[in-house]
Amino acid sequence: MKVLITNDDGVTSIGLITLAKVFSKEHEVLVVAPESEQSATGHAITVRMPIWVKRVKVLDSFPVYAATGTPADCVKIGVEVLAKGKVDLVLSGINIGHNLGTDVVYSGTVSGALEGALLGIPSIALSAPISENFDFEAAARFILNFVRNFDFNLLEKFCALNVNFPEGEIKGWKATKQSKRRYADKFEERKDPSGNTYYWMYGDIIEDDTDPDADYIVVKSGYVSITPISVFMMHKDVFERLKEVEKREKNKIAW
């Protein structure tokens, strides 16, 4: 297979390079990643300024390109320009830091995979815990074996997989749901040397989802969490209720 690999941590990230090295042993690998960190950029794309792309020297076993754009930009350029549409799989990661619950809304890593899904290519976002001792090579070998055995025909159009690794030894993997894990934001007010006010944002994690299939619960139990996600965010149940309201109200409104 021809595998396009990107991330949001930047082209020199250990997670990205390790993933590319492991996959290059069995597949044709092309790396296109941001030249600098693009964490929490979501699905942003560059539309009002140019995107510079240059090949950089990393390893001889696969080409690596650094781009000034976002992860979504990198996937677009990688697939449509550098690979000329010939990509069989998009991998985004391995990110340093989990992407669980509402993280997927903000994550550049996840958006890299969703961009691949938008282009009709099987795509996987990969994220690891923030840990000095995390074994990226073991995680890369795990996902290589998963790709060998997984039937990507199970994925519907515009659907990608969001994968999160646990700390320590991997017990296996479980199919999971995107949890309600979210943040209670806090803003610390500060002053710059000129006396101007600025704010430093941080927050507390809220983990009150009791579903045993919730992504963060599975990861904490030592399993790899694999969650199917889609680029489309319409809420089906609310849509049906809204249609009922429409039916009841349509004859009451004079346009």
Where does the chain have alpha helices with state H?
14-23, 71-77, 103-106, 108-118, 136-149, 215-220, 236-249
For the chain, how many structural domains are there in total? Answer: 1
Query: What confidence score (pLDDT) does residue 105 get?
Result: 96
Asked, for residue 113, whether it belongs to a domain, the answer is yes
Asked, for residue 188, whether it belongs to a domain, the answer is no
Kindly state the average pLDDT of the residues 180-185: 96
pLDDT band at 2 (very low <50, low <70, confident <90, very high): very high
| Model pLDDT for residues 41-83, shown as the tens digit of each residue | 999 999 999 999 999 998 888 999 999 999 999 999 999 999 9
Query: What confidence score (pLDDT) does residue 60 get?
Result: 85
Asked, for residue 186, whether it belongs to a domain, the answer is no
Query: What confidence score (pLDDT) does residue 255 get?
Result: 56
Query: What confidence score (pLDDT) does residue 59 get?
Result: 83
Asked, for residue 187, whether it belongs to a domain, the answer is no
Asked, for residue 146, whether it belongs to a domain, the answer is yes
Asked, for residue 25, whether it belongs to a domain, the answer is yes
What is the percent of the chain where pLDDT is above 70? 98
Nearest alpha-carbon partner for 173 in 184, 165, 185, 181:
165
| Model pLDDT for residues 134-179, shown as the tens digit of each residue | 999 999 999 999 999 999 999 999 999 999 999 999 999 999 999 9
Q: Which residues are annotated as a binding site for a divalent metal cation?
A: 8-9, 39, 95
Least confident range from 21-25, 56-60, 87-91, 149-153: namely 56-60
Asked, for residue 108, whether it belongs to a domain, the answer is yes
Contact criterion met (CB below 8 Å) for 125 and 110 = yes
Model confidence pTM above 0.85:
yes
* Residue-averaged pLDDT of the chain: 96
CATH code, domain with 130: 3.40.1210.10
CA atoms within 13 A on the CB side of 203: 10
Query: What confidence score (pLDDT) does residue 254 get?
Result: 59
Question: For residue 167, what are the domain limits?
Answer: 2-180+209-249
Asked, for residue 193, whether it belongs to a domain, the answer is no
